[in-house]
Amino acid sequence: MTPLMCARILGERRAGHKRARMERWTGNFIKRVIDAYSRALDRFLDRAWLTIPILLVCILGLWFFFTHLPFTLLPPGDSGFARGVFIAQEGSSPEQMRAFQKLVNEKIIAEQSVAQFFTLAGSGSRSASSQGIIFCIFKPREQRDPIEQCLLRIQKSINTIPGLTAVISPSPVLQINVGATNQTQGQYAYTISGIVPQDVYGAANQMMTKLRGFKGFASVRSDYYNNTPNLKINIDRERAATYGVSTSAIQSLLKNAYSQNYVYLIKQPDDQYQVILEVKDDERAQPRDLDNLYVRSNTGSPINQSGGGTGIGAITTTTGTSSDLVPLRAVTSTSQVVGPQAVNHFDQFTSVTINFNLLPDVAIGDATKFIEDSFAQVHNQYPSIQATFQGEALVFRQLFKALPLLLIAAIFVMYVILGILYESYVHPITVLFPAIVPAVVGGLFTLWIFGSTLSLYSVIGLFLLLGIVKKNGIMVVDFALQRIDEGWDLRP
């Protein structure tokens, strides 16, 4: 289109040619701009000393905007897709989780902006047993509110269910996953690790208390669950040896009874089938159901009666062959305790990962600064721990930490190239600094005026702006040098 338009508008005109209305308007506008620029340039050249204070003001502007503009890595955008979790009380049974899942489905169906959704509960491979997963696909943008508002409505609706908490976040248009991140519980992650587990857990609890005081978080969750009911099984090794029962036999018995893992794979020409060995559902709901389990003895020697007599609690077994079955309660004892749901690790150290989401108008830079300030206070009490961001937050910190060095390196490379071009140490400075510094300040000022954030897209735009301004500066200096070589004065 550009060559065609130039051939039409910029073509050679005959004498007496009458210009079109658009041509006259464009020509007059460009002439007025050139005249105004000429007058401003003449006034500025008469007051050349103004360049120094203007340059100082621009440098102060750089400092102001870089310290006051909110930083973010990538704007989340509106992909029309979201995912999250609904979290119940620790130790919730599969039946209770299925009931919660049904209630969650009803809440999501009531949201008019959702086109399709999928929920999953009780899957230990993707989430804890007391958690469920949510995936939502929303209607086109013109048929609904912004995705952040839709998710807030869904999350508040699910949180009205007694005993349930929901954490849902939009899926970014461009997603970056680095390190130990769990995108279902939060878009950003902060991991605390250390050698002493108790210090890690204590620091994590204090960090959670501090982070809940920051109003910019839409949700804050950690993967440390310390109130999960556990059934502790203690093996009496001496009695087990007396009965001829090995520890591995007891472990295999419990694995086959409760792990729901397949023990054999039947292969057919067109399909394959898993053979799963497990206890019936109604026989594994209570701790006392362990009394129904028997472990096989492998000694082949006679087994005496155990339990101390024939009264209540006495245990009777058959004897004389290697196929004797010994009640599990004869060689084990159980106790119900409350403890952690899992012991997580990061770089082989005990760790706790804090996942968080941000409100729509909050930048990740403000959140990371608050988190680092909070951790500095906690670290004084627990000096053995360390912490680091994960995922998108980690990439954000690394990128903007290296941004000043990238700018300096880019300017240095441009200076070297221009120095080779002009064979001078002075002309590159003439091209770069009077043009680049005001250009960067102007770009940052535009972001500040429109309430935008300094993101990866903005940084790329600033580098492109540097290239354009440098090109214009080269053209100005080349033109001036050519006129000087032709004998022109600096001022007409």
Q: Tens place of pLDDT for every residue, the chain, 492 residues?
A: 777 777 766 655 665 667 778 878 888 899 999 999 888 888 888 888 888 888 888 889 888 888 778 777 777 677 888 888 888 888 788 888 889 999 999 999 999 999 999 998 876 555 677 888 899 999 998 888 888 889 889 988 999 999 888 888 888 776 665 554 555 667 788 899 999 888 999 999 999 989 888 888 878 888 888 878 888 899 999 998 888 898 999 998 898 888 888 888 999 888 999 998 888 888 887 888 888 899 988 754 444 444 444 343 444 344 444 457 889 989 999 888 887 777 888 888 888 888 888 877 777 778 888 998 999 999 988 988 998 888 777 777 777 777 778 878 888 888 888 888 878 888 788 777 777 888 888 888 998 888 887 887 888 888 888 888 888 888 888 888 888 888 887 666
Cα 58 from Cα 99, distance rounded (Å): 62
Contact 344, 222 (CB under 8 A): no
- On whether the CB atoms of residues 278 and 262 are closer than 8 A, the answer is no
Count helices and strands (H / E) in the chain. Answer: 13, 15
What tokens appear for 323 in the block?
């196929």
Which among 119, 73, 60, 124 is positioned nearest to 94, based on CA atoms?
A: 124
Secondary structure element (H or E) that encloses residue 9, with its range = helix 2-9
Q: Is the Cβ–Cβ distance between 331 and 317 less than 8 Å?
A: no
Q: Which residue has the tokens 């460009």?
A: 30
Tokens 């089938």 belong to residue: 273
Give the three-class secondary structure for 143.
Answer: helix
Query: In CATH, what number does 229-339 get?
Result: 3.30.2090.10
- The pLDDT assigned to 315 comes to 41
- Judge whether 334 and 234 are in contact, CB under 8 Å: yes
DSSP secondary structure string, 24-50? HHHHHHHHHHHHHHHHHHHHHHHTGGG
Cα–Cα distance, 41 to 489 (Å, whole number): 15
Query: Nearest 10 degrees: CA dihedral of 218, 224, 229, 234?
Result: 170
At 427 the three-state DSSP class reads helix
Do the bridges between strand 349-358 and strand 345-346 make them parallel or antiparallel, or are there none, so unpaired?
Answer: antiparallel
Tell me the residue length of the chain: 492
Distance CA 107, CA 155 (A): 9
Please give the backbone phi and psi of residue 200, each rounded to the nearest 5 degrees, phi first: -65, -45
Q: CA 175 to CA 393: how far, in whole Å?
A: 11
Report the chain's terminal Cα–Cα distance, integer Å: 39
Angle at 403 between CA 400 and CA 406, to 5 degrees: 155
Tokens 């403890």 found at = 339
Same-fold call for 178-223+343-400 versus 229-339: no
Q: CA–CA separation, 469 vs 324, rounded Å?
A: 89
pLDDT at 481: 81
Tokens (6 digits) for 175: 């997603």
Q: Is the dihedral of CA 118, 119, 123, 128 positive or negative?
A: positive
Q: Supply the pLDDT for residue 311.
A: 40
| CA gap 307, 294 in Å, rounded | 16
Domain boundaries, the chain: 78-175, 178-223+343-400, 229-339
User: DSSP assignment of 166-199, as one string?
Assistant: EEEEEPPSS----SS--TTT-SEEEEEEESSHHH
Q: 316: helix, coil or strand?
A: coil
Any idea what the Cα angle at residue 254 is, between residues 250 and 258, rounded to 5°? 175
Cα 288 from Cα 248, distance rounded (Å): 22
pTM score, two decimals?
0.61
Q: Which pLDDT score is estimated for 44?
A: 83
Name 164's bridge partners. Answer: 88
Torsion angle (degrees, nearest 10) of CA 429, 432, 434, 437: -130
Q: What pLDDT score does 182 carry?
A: 55
What CATH superfamily is the domain 78-175? Multidrug efflux transporter AcrB pore domain (3.30.70.1430)
At residue 76, the pLDDT reads 67
**Distance, CA of 337 to CA of 38 (rounded, Å):** 85
For residue 322, the model assigns a pLDDT of 44
* Per-residue confidence (pLDDT) for residue 317, from 0 to 100: 42
Count Cα atoms within 13 angstroms, Cβ side, for 186: 26
* Residue 189 one-letter amino acid: A
* Two tokens, residue 422: 């002009």
| Interacting residues of 28 by C-beta distance below 8 A, sequence separation 6+ | none
Tokens of 459: 């940084």
Q: How far apart are CA 7 and CA 25, in angstroms?
A: 18
Contact indicator for 253, 278 with CB cutoff of 8 Å: no
Please give the distance of CA 109 from its chain centroid, rounded to a whole number. Answer: 27
CATH 2.60.120.10 fits domain 178-223+343-400: no
Q: Specify whether the CB–CB gap between 160 and 177 falls below 8 A.
A: no
